[in-house]
Amino acid sequence: MTALHLLDPAPDVGGPHQPLLEVRNLTKHFPVRGPLWGAKPVARAVDGVSFAVAKGETLGVVGESGCGKSTTARLLMRLINPDSGTLTFDGEAVGSKLGLSLRDLRRRVQMVFQDSYASLNPRLTIADSLAFAPMVHGVSRRDAMAVAGELLGRVGLAPECFLGRYPHELSGGQRQRVNIARALALRPRLVILDEAVSALDKSVEAQVLTLLLELKKQLDLTYIFISHDLNVVHYIADRVLVMYLGKVAEVGPVEAIYGNPAHPYTRALFSARLSMDPDERTSAAPLQGDPPNPINPPSGCRFRTRCPHATSLCAEREPAPVDLGGGHLVACHLHEVAHG
Amino acid sequence: MSATAAKLPATAGPKPARSPGYWTKVGRRLLRDPVTMGCLAVLLAIVLAAVFADVLAPADPYKASMIRRLKPIGFPNHPLGTDELGRDMLTRLLYGGRMSLVMGIVPVLNALVIGGLLGIVAGFFGGRLNMAIMRTIDVLYAFPSVLLAVAISGALGSGLTNAIVALTIVFVPPLARIAETVTTQVRGMDFVDAARASGAGSLTIIRVHLLPNVLGPVFVYASSLISVSIILASGLSFLGLGVEPPRAEWGLMLNTLRQAIYVQPWVAVLPGALIFLTSICCNLASDGLRTAMEVKL
Amino acid sequence: MADAPLLSVSGLTVSFGTERGTASAINGVDFDLKRGEVLCLLGESGSGKSVTLRALMRLLPERRSRIAGKVLLNGEDVYAIPEKRMERLRGKAISMVFQEPMLALDPVYTIGQQIAETIVRHEGVGHAEAERRALDLLERVQIPSARRRLKAYPHEMSGGMRQRAMIALALSCNPALLLADEPTTALDATVQMQILLLLRQLQAELDMAVILVTHDIGVAAETADRIAVMYAGRFVELGTARQVLKTPQHPYTAGLLASTVHGSMRGHALEAIPGAPPDLTALPPGCAYAPRCPHAEARCTAAAPAVSWLEPGRMARCVLSEATV
């Protein structure tokens, strides 16, 4: 019986067909500095986002800056409180009196952040950083240190070489492994990876991705993988969610999204991928201008100001999600016509 | 192949597996800094001289002698001369050091605790609590420190305790400010969010994650305030608001020796020279400490 | 002479003194750059690519760094001329675009003021003429509402626009050589594509030589005429973009290409390069890549492999290439 089993993962409540996480109408607006009187502007960072994550899958979340994916991640972890919307973990509502408390939620959902250096307390040794969470939940210090050693071993770092070190002595890839180990310390069932490999060198990125896939199998995890790198998401995700300016533009199985992108934004995003072949260079930028500001989003469909197919309908009404079959949903008026 | 790809060979090499802690590294860096070590040595000498004044002083600090007034430096039996009442300068300076150092260090320590606490609470909890605390602090901060010290001291009356209270109040705002700034910065870092995400309570987070990162800069700032405090304390005594005669205190001595500056200038400036020496050593040592602590960790 | 290279670097070596010892950031770099050519320095962190760029413009801190070798810009050795002359060259003959526009642009001056100041200083024209040229430049880099943006401060613009403004600033005096240090790394995918296309377009219009530093193979594929792969301060491979990306000669290049993730690898294990980049304060005597190389032999750790010229302009620093020459 290893020390890791001192903390057991939360049991599976609803069975394999119940979504592990269900998000409905999540909304968060941030107040922004504005004029002294009159309406105070708000940044509508996340505006009515709904999706579900199935047990054992990897949900990829893509989008550019301002789309709200990092805010969504923090809302899921309740590091910030949503203005409205519900969160249901394995059938239990989060935050309500009868459902899951925040403390319980944090045993079930953990997060790995992008900045590997800022994610670790520079004054604590690696051992202390890893042992912190188990000790908070009642594990004795000695046992927590044993857990720390085991976790390091699992992520491919020799415990005797790294437990006594400080974060600044490790490379970016090593630190990120420690962050992953730290996220696993409480035996969560869902791990949110917020641009976890984006800041790493490509060769290290490959190592860490391999590690993540292995851990997922070994520990029966579910991942939400947030990234701006479409190639990595294509490799690792089972389903993909595309966000634009605080809303879900499209969601579906990875091959459907990559093979048959329905939303004009998704198509533009995919065309903006860099070619790896010097003989076949991209000749035209798929999209002009910069991703807009969530402070004053366009009325109706938020993408209409940059969309080559925008019509007057797009300015009047926000498109509702349309089911294209096979779990592929798109929020675009163009597809409403075909599918009623 | 994928199994070995996940295992990272220990790239640590021949380095030891336990690293020296942060303060050990700071200590080592300090030891290599000649200016700081020099200043710390001088300060230590001053402190020890003040502490052991009973043993070191050749005479009684209160024994006056009208015949031996204002004797110069090097006078037999009075190596540093005598003051305007004939008391031995060396003895007075040694005992005066006690007062001046106490009035310099104690208020800063008090303010460190009070101001630090206020700043950390304001920075950690943010929002309305932050506004309430910091805007109140700002009111005090708006007054120039000398004026504030004099005003409070004047209201409370003279005496050592009152002077210390006044100076404490003067130093709470700047320390609270810096504590709040640093706490807000550290609070925004991902590792604090990660700690919240593990389900830790606020007190645990403050104790384990915030304090070690915040105390460093706050402490360095406080050490730079010691010299200001010594000068302000001397100023208060000079104005008759701090220590009362016949007690020995460098600022007070400066006041009473004022008229003697035309008669025995070298003796008259001695207390001022010591105030200057102590302050500058504190400042330089604090700078050295800041450099030693600032390196990327 | 139209044939003489614009830039000729030979034996460039740079080392810094650090707390832990001397870091050998660059260990002998030689290359030529023709007028109007785009060279990409491809490498990961610690490869020395950014240091190389700064060495070309003599931007390294002179006190802490030891620099050896020759950098000939139009025949002039950049390290032999006085600093005043170098200041006149910077911005005019050779200029640079940085990764973080927010850090490179002065926050207290408007974009128009910064560009105009550079033009006035180097071209010697009056302020009104400089402003007119600044407007022209902003339009050239496709900033919408250019006239209004002249009066904008850096923090009022989005990331993509700031990068365009920085490019405008760098091009303000028609430099013959543009250095770009990871210019699109901090940008979103759609903006990145716009900026890369803009750079390509401007480079062709102005017949400007560009040295572009990046860690992204895609960026190199989209922009480079030639690619130099750097590892531990040395060029380990050099050739045209097609040669390097399609027929890599050095195991590191091959490893980089193989470990670059894309969707078609789905379901298969990634071929990651094992280990980590070497410590620059303690470089091994032989080939720096040997500890991670799947083809390493005994002679690789004994001595650094010599440069093998497989054909004019095509180079690899590997014992495996020696065999074919």
pLDDT band at A39 (very low <50, low <70, confident <90, very high): confident
Bridge partners (DSSP) of residue A30 are: A43
Query: Does the residue B24 lie in any domain?
Result: no
Contact (Cβ atoms closer than 8 angstroms) between residue C325 and residue C246: no
Domain count, chain B: 1
Neighbours of A81 (CB within 10 A): 10
pLDDT band at C308 (very low <50, low <70, confident <90, very high): confident
| Of A5-9, B176-180, B218-222, highest mean pLDDT | B176-180
CB nearest to C275's CB, from B1, B2, B9: B9
Mean pLDDT of B207-211: 90
Chains contacting B with at least 3 CB pairs below 8 Å?
A, C
Determine the Cα–Cα distance for residues B57 and B89; give it in Å rounded to an integer.
10
CB nearest to C259's CB, from A64, A202, A282: A202
* CATH at residue A25: 3.40.50.300
Find the residue in A nearest to B296 (Cα): A168
CA distance B5 to chain C (A): 6
Q: Is A160 on the interface with B (CB under 8 A)?
A: yes
Determine the Cα–Cα distance for residues C200 and C208; give it in Å rounded to an integer.
10
According to the model, what pLDDT value does residue A202 have? 82
Q: Inter-chain contact C261–A231, Cβ cutoff 8 Å?
A: yes
Residue numbers of the domain that contains B111: 52-60+73-294
Higher-scoring residue by pLDDT: A36, C202: C202
Chain C from 15 to 44: CB within 8 A of any A CB:
44
Q: Inter-chain contact B19–A169, Cβ cutoff 8 Å?
A: yes
Q: Is A237 on the interface with C (CB under 8 A)?
A: no
According to the model, what pLDDT value does residue A11 have? 80
Mean pLDDT of B167-185: 94
Place of tokens 């830039």: C7
Q: pTM of the prediction?
A: 0.85
Return all residues near A167 (Cβ < 8 A) that are at least 6 apart. A117, A120, A121, A122, A126, A129, A175, A178
Is the confidence at residue A86, as pLDDT, over 70?
yes
Contact (Cβ atoms closer than 8 angstroms) between residue A201 and residue C44: yes
Query: Does the residue A280 lie in any domain?
Result: no
CB neighbour class for A308 (10 Å; exposed up to 12, middle 13-18, buried from 19): exposed
In this prediction, the answer to ipTM > 0.90 reads no
According to the model, what pLDDT value does residue A283 have? 83
Is the confidence at residue C229, as pLDDT, over 90?
yes
CATH assignment of C1-86+204-261+272-325, among 3.40.1280.10, 3.90.1010.10, 2.40.160.20, 3.40.50.300? 3.40.50.300
Contact (Cβ atoms closer than 8 angstroms) between residue B79 and residue B266: no
Q: Inter-chain contact A168–B10, Cβ cutoff 8 Å?
A: no
Chains contacting C with at least 3 CB pairs below 8 Å?
A, B
Place of tokens 């705002």: B173
b (16+ CB within 10 A) / e for B177-216: bbbbbbbbebbebbbbbbbbbbbbeeeebbebbbbbbbbb
Angle CA(C67)–CA(C68)–CA(C74) in degrees, nearest 5? 100
Q: Which amino acid is at A307?
A: C
CA distance A122 to chain B (A): 6
Angle CA(C21)–CA(C26)–CA(C31) in degrees, nearest 5? 170
Mean pLDDT of C202-211: 92
Domain count, chain A: 1
Find the residue in C nearest to B7 (Cα): C274
Contact (Cβ atoms closer than 8 angstroms) between residue A300 and residue A316: yes
Is the confidence at residue C256, as pLDDT, over 80?
yes
Q: Inter-chain contact C274–B5, Cβ cutoff 8 Å?
A: yes
According to the model, what pLDDT value does residue B76 have? 83
Find which of C42, C156, C190 to mutate to test the A interface (most A CBs within 10 Å of its CB).
C190
All residues of chain A having their beta carbon less than 8 Å from the beta carbon of residue B196 are 79
Is the confidence at residue B11, as pLDDT, over 50?
no
Contact (Cβ atoms closer than 8 angstroms) between residue B248 and residue B162: no
All residues of chain B having their beta carbon less than 8 Å from the beta carbon of residue A158 are 10, 12
Mean pLDDT of B267-282: 89
Residue numbers of the domain that contains A203: 3-8+18-32+39-272+285-339
All residues of chain C having their beta carbon less than 8 Å from the beta carbon of residue B1 are 269, 271
Strands (E), chain C: 7-18, 21-33, 38-42, 65-73, 76-77, 94-97, 177-181, 209-214, 226-231, 234-240, 308-311, 314-316
pLDDT band at A5 (very low <50, low <70, confident <90, very high): low
Q: Parse chain C into domains and list their residue ranges.
A: 1-86+204-261+272-325
CA distance A208 to chain C (A): 9
CB neighbour class for B42 (10 Å; exposed up to 12, middle 13-18, buried from 19): middle
Determine the Cα–Cα distance for residues C171 and C130; give it in Å rounded to an integer.
13
Q: Inter-chain contact B11–C275, Cβ cutoff 8 Å?
A: yes
B104-109 long-range contacts, Cβ below 8 Å, gap at least 24?
B104/B226, B104/B227, B104/B229, B104/B230, B104/B233, B104/B278, B105/B226, B105/B229, B106/B164, B106/B168, B107/B164, B107/B167, B107/B168, B107/B170, B107/B171, B107/B229, B107/B233, B108/B171, B108/B222, B108/B225, B108/B226, B108/B229, B109/B222
Q: Is A218 on the interface with B (CB under 8 A)?
A: no
Q: Is A267 on the interface with B (CB under 8 A)?
A: no
Chains contacting A with at least 3 CB pairs below 8 Å?
B, C
Query: Does the residue A13 lie in any domain?
Result: no
According to the model, what pLDDT value does residue C34 have? 92
| Of A4-8, B5-9, B242-246, C54-58, highest mean pLDDT | C54-58
Higher-scoring residue by pLDDT: B52, A337: B52
Find which of A74, A121, A155, A218 to mutate to test the B interface (most B CBs within 10 Å of its CB).
A121
Determine the Cα–Cα distance for residues C324 and C310; give it in Å rounded to an integer.
8
According to the model, what pLDDT value does residue B13 have? 40
Q: What is the pLDDT of residues B67-92, one digit of tens each?
A: 888 888 888 888 888 888 888 888 88
Q: What is the pLDDT of residues C159-195, one digit of tens each?
A: 888 899 999 999 988 899 999 999 988 888 888 888 9
CB nearest to A121's CB, from B10, B12, B209: B209
Is the confidence at residue B14, as pLDDT, over 50?
no
| Of A44-53, C86-95, C257-266, highest mean pLDDT | A44-53
Q: Inter-chain contact B204–A136, Cβ cutoff 8 Å?
A: yes
Higher-scoring residue by pLDDT: A75, B18: A75
Is the confidence at residue B10, as pLDDT, over 80?
no
Find the residue in B nearest to C268 (Cα): B2
According to the model, what pLDDT value does residue A117 have? 87
Q: Give SS3 for C36.
A: coil
pLDDT band at A337 (very low <50, low <70, confident <90, very high): low
Name the phi and psi angles at B187, rounded to 5.
Answer: -60, -30
Q: Is A44 on the interface with B (CB under 8 A)?
A: no
Average pLDDT score, chain C = 88
Chain B from 147 to 186: CB within 8 A of any A CB:
none
Closest CA to A293 of B68, C103, C161: C161
According to the model, what pLDDT value does residue A127 have? 93
| Three-class DSSP labels, chain A | CCHHHHCCCCCCCCCCCCCCEEEEEEEEEEECCCCCCCCCCEEEEEEEEEEEECCCCEEEEECCCCCCHHHHHHHHCCCCCCCEEEEEECCEEECCCCCECHHHHHHHEEEECCCCCCCCCCCCCHHHHHHHHHHHCCCCHHHHHHHHHHHHHHCCCCHHHHCECCHHHCCHHHHHHHHHHHHHCCCCCEEEEECCCCCCCHHHHHHHHHHHHHHHHHHCCEEEEECCCHHHHHHHCCEEEEEECCEEEEEEEHHHHHHCCCCHHHHHHHHCCCCCCCCCCCCCCCCCCCCCCCCCCCCCCCCCCCCCCCCHHHHHCCCCCEECCCCCEECCHHHHHHHC
Portion of chain A with pLDDT greater than 90, in percent: 47
3-state helix, strand, coil in chain B (%, to 5): 70, 0, 25
CB nearest to A119's CB, from B16, B190, B297: B190
Q: Inter-chain contact B9–C274, Cβ cutoff 8 Å?
A: yes
Q: What is the pLDDT of residues B42-65, one digit of tens each?
A: 999 999 998 888 888 888 888 888
Determine the Cα–Cα distance for residues C89 and C122; give it in Å rounded to an integer.
9
Chain A from 76 to 135: CB within 8 A of any B CB:
77, 79, 102-103, 106-107, 110-111, 113, 115, 118-125, 129, 132-133
Q: Which two tokens stand for residue A205?
A: 């990125």
Q: Is A103 on the interface with C (CB under 8 A)?
A: no
According to the model, what pLDDT value does residue B17 have? 59
CA distance B236 to chain C (A): 43
Average pLDDT score, chain B = 85
Q: Which two tokens stand for residue A262?
A: 């329905």
Q: Inter-chain contact B8–A156, Cβ cutoff 8 Å?
A: yes
Contact (Cβ atoms closer than 8 angstroms) between residue B120 and residue B259: no
> How long a stretch of residues is chain C?
325
Is the confidence at residue B1, as pLDDT, over 50?
no
All residues of chain A having their beta carbon less than 8 Å from the beta carbon of residue B209 are 121, 124
